[in-house]
């Protein structure tokens, strides 16, 4: 059974600008607007069948790959980017406070991952290529801090 969350963006109280059903809502651990409010970041803290992206098979070993983060464009709630992982379950995630500064997420295992936009490909910070996979690089990985 999939549970859904419907996100409503309102211009003024009682006036719905845009809405969208979000799958696996019961697995969400974090919802945040970007500094410009152009994007919404959703972080998933549990693995669920509806978040399964693929399964990598290497000999006798199979590794499931799950969606851990999703970025939606705020104007129309279209999915802009999904980040997958075989090992992470996100405890909390947030955008950098400066537009284009990337994002950070902490895992349930105590790791902190810092992802930053790599502008080498000349893609703008807005629109459908806000987080193209080849332009997001993990700049730091902090193991357990305690």
Structural domains of the chain, with CATH:
28-142 (2.130.10.10)
3-class SS of residue 77: coil
For residue 112, what are the β-bridge partners?
A: 106, 142
Nearest Cα to Cα of residue 68 among 103, 102, 44, 39: 44
Structure confidence at residue 130 (pLDDT)? 40
Average pLDDT for 13-19 = 71
3-class SS of residue 43: strand
The predicted-structure confidence for 47-103, as pLDDT tens digits, reads as follows 888 898 989 998 899 999 999 999 999 888 899 999 999 989 999 999 998 888 889
**Which residues lie closer than 8 Å to 91 by C-beta, 6 or more apart?**
29, 45, 105, 106, 107, 108
Structure confidence at residue 128 (pLDDT)? 38
Instruction: Give the span between the Cα atoms of 20 and 104, in whole angstroms.
Output: 24
Query: Running DSSP on this structure, what letter comes out for residue 18?
Result: E
Length of the chain: 146
The predicted-structure confidence for 115-145, as pLDDT tens digits, reads as follows 887 655 444 444 333 444 444 555 555 555 4
Q: What is the pTM of this model?
A: 0.74
């Amino acid at each position: 059974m999939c549970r859904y969350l419907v996100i409503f963006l309102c211009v003024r109280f009682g006036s719905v600008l845009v809405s969208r059903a979000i799958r696996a809502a019961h697995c969400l651990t974090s919802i945040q607007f970007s500094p410009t409010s152009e994007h919404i970041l959703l972080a998933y803290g549990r693995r669920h069948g509806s978040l399964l992206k693929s399964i990598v098979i290497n000999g006798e070993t199979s590794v499931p790959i799950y969606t851990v983060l999703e970025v939606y464009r705020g104007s129309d709630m279209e999915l802009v980017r999904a980040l997958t992982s075989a090992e992470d379950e996100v405890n909390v995630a947030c955008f950098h406070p400066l537009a284009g500064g990337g994002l950070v997420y902490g895992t349930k295992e105590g790791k902190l991952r810092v992802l930053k936009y790599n502008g080498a490909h000349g893609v703008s910070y807005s629109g459908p290529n806000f987080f193209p996979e080849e332009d997001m690089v993990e700049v730091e990985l902090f193991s357990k801090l305690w």
